[in-house]
Amino acid sequence: MKLSRRQFTQAIGAVAATAACSRKSFGFAENGPKLGLNTWSLRALSQQEAIPIIIQTMKQARLQDAQILFTHIEPAKFNPVFPVGVFNPPKSSPTPQQQEQQKATEAALTQWRLSVPMSYFENIRSTFGKQGLRIKAYSIRFGSSDAEIDRQFLMAKALGADSIVTRLPAASTGVVAAATDKHQMIVSLQVADLDEVKKQLAASQYFRMDPDIGDLTKAKIDALQFVETNYTSMSAFDLKDAMPGGPSVPLGEGEARVKAVLQFFKDKQVPITAYVDCDYAGTGRSPEEVEKCASYARGIIGQV
């Protein structure tokens, strides 16, 4: 059917209005912080069950973008489900047999990464897209070879992600930086050692920081002061509350200065994604807790 110019203009206007409504309904901010979901909040979900529950959670909490955890994408046989609650370090070193089993698992995972068709990831992307949702970042552990790292960038792109999030060992900086420059894709570095991360940022124009303000607080670092100093090097951040030197707690009950950090980005009009990351007691597979966290944060930045 051929449209008149007037009909065409009206149709374009209707599409734009629908898109604007959809963006508003999910709390999208053109300027200032917008909220997303770090699926670490649902870390106790196995890969087999994760995707539909993540989608349900995002729709329930009105979060359009996800930073999706690798254990929710890669086959469960290669990755343990993260437990609910506080992590305890292993009480003893692994036995030689356990070490051999781990090597075999890692080798099998590498082979899977090198051979899995990109359609596997494209189908996951499509599943989210049909619900009006997006995988914006892929949170991974990089492999050790050039070929495996290259494939991980292709996986992230097939998922629709515009960045990879990782904690990057110093020894891997060079090879990952080269792959980052090749693919021209943002790699967001989680902050463990600030001095080391600052050195790594110089290795590629596509390296950024993705700090967790709760983890900063646990390390007795003032989260607000950190973002005020480093926000121009940040691509996103994880929105978590915690006690200094202590555990994670619900948003607003700790000292991560959640309200002040969100207000800072709102006042600065910085278009940055704050990924809701609730890992306090009672979370791990709970859409209701994610919704509570998102509602609290949305009230601060004035999105309804």
What is the distance between the alpha carbons of residues 215 and 248, in angstroms, rounded to a whole number? 8
Please report, for the chain, the start and end positions of each structural domain, with discontinuous segments joined by +.
25-89+120-301
Helix boundaries (H) for 26-62: 47-61
What is the average per-residue pLDDT within 228-257? 97
3-state helix vs strand vs coil in the chain, percent to 5: 50, 15, 35
Q: Beta strands 207-209 and 236-239: pairing type?
A: unpaired
CB 165 within 8 A of CB 210: yes
Residue 220 has pLDDT above 70, yes or no: yes
Three-state secondary structure call for residue 66: strand
Residue 121: what pLDDT?
98
Show Cβ contacts of residue 117 under 8 Å, excluding neighbours closer than 6 positions: none
% of the chain residues with pLDDT over 90: 77
Q: Which residue has the tokens 């709390």?
A: 27
Other CB atoms within a 10 A radius of the CB of residue 291 amount to 18
Residue 91 has pLDDT above 70, yes or no: no
CB 204 within 8 A of CB 177: yes
The predicted model scores a pTM of 0.87
Sign of CA dihedral 283, 289, 291, 296: negative
What is the distance between the alpha carbons of residues 78 and 65, in angstroms, rounded to a whole number? 26
Residues 161-213 pLDDT 10s: 999 999 999 999 999 999 999 999 999 999 988 899 999 999 999 999 999 99
Superfamily of structural domain 25-89+120-301: Divalent-metal-dependent TIM barrel enzymes (3.20.20.150)
Residues 36-83 pLDDT 10s: 999 999 999 999 999 999 999 999 999 999 999 999 999 999 987 776
Show Cβ contacts of residue 57 under 8 Å, excluding neighbours closer than 6 positions: 37, 41, 42, 63, 287, 290, 291
Residue 145: what pLDDT?
93
Confidence of residue 25 (pLDDT cuts 50, 70, 90): very low
